[in-house]
Amino acid sequence: MQFTVICALAMPTDMIERKAPVEEILQHSTKHTWWRDVAEHGSNPVVTLLELFDGAELIVGYNCLGFDFPLIRRFYRPSAEVLYPTQRYVNHRTKTLDIMHRVSDATGHYYKLDDLLKKNGLQTKSSNGKEAIRMWEEGRRDELKSYCEQDVLLTARLGLLESIRIAEHLKVTSRGFGIRSELCRISPSVASGADPDGDFVMV
């Protein structure tokens, strides 16, 4: 399997930590896109994605440990700057918050992203993986990019909730899955407002 397009959202951790409104956080976030057939630095299409991962305070996704990371594993290559690519890969996975796995660990069940979005009153996905493959095959790049960006944005909105509703009388609090809680745990200096420049979260 190969990726077709990867989208990410770099969110400012200082705003997340001081509990700025979600819309304000998203307005100050930066979108990024990488295409499979657009090589960076001669051969590797995700060089700058991996560099963003290097600098990220936290990497966030939904089933990214089980799907996205294995999909891009082959792009972790030795270079003059990166002598030990396997260590780099492990470092990136170690600072990853995978919302799907955290919710599953708490509940014992796996949930589709769309199901959790619906249960929490959030907009649902505009398409699905099968249709995304069709978009790629038919050259509908603008649609594919839009779908990918929306998927990332929805994941960000879910991760910024104080709790995720699983059922009518069942919630998982942000202590178990949330971006804010995770940032407090790994970076008390950010939580206190010290030196926030350059910190961001990838979703």
d(CA 13, CA 16): 5
d(CA 136, CA 124): 21
Residue 82: inside a domain, yes or no?
A: yes
Residue 118: inside a domain, yes or no?
A: yes
User: 111-148: b or e for each residue (b if 16 or more CB lie within 10 Å)?
Assistant: bebeebbebeeeeebebeeeebeebbeeeeeebbbebb
* 35 token code pair: 């295409």
What is the separation of C-alpha 170 from the centre of its chain, rounded to a whole number of angstroms? 25
Residue 171 host element (H or E): strand 170-173
Residue 23: inside a domain, yes or no?
A: yes
pLDDT, tens only, 104-163: 999 999 999 999 999 999 999 877 778 888 999 999 999 999 999 999 999 999 999 999
Residue 148: inside a domain, yes or no?
A: yes
Residue 181: inside a domain, yes or no?
A: yes
Distances, alpha carbon 37 to alpha carbons 5, 34, 89, 185, in Å = 9, 9, 22, 38
Q: Report whether pLDDT(74) > 70.
A: yes
Select the highest-mean-pLDDT range: 71-75, 185-189, 191-195.
Answer: 71-75
List the CATH number of the domain containing 137. 3.30.420
d(CA 157, CA 176): 16
Rounded to the nearest integer, the mean pLDDT of the chain is: 87
Q: Report whether pLDDT(65) > 90.
A: yes
Residue 47: inside a domain, yes or no?
A: yes
Residue 201: inside a domain, yes or no?
A: no
Q: What is the pLDDT of residue 43?
A: 77
pLDDT, tens only, 167-191: 888 999 877 666 767 766 665 544 4
Q: Would you give the end-to-end CA distance of the chain in angstroms?
A: 21
Q: What is the pLDDT of residue 131?
A: 87
Its sign, for the CA torsion 38, 6, 4, 80, is positive
The count of domains in the chain is 1
Residue 196: inside a domain, yes or no?
A: no
**Which residue segment(s) compose the domain that 18 sits in?**
5-190
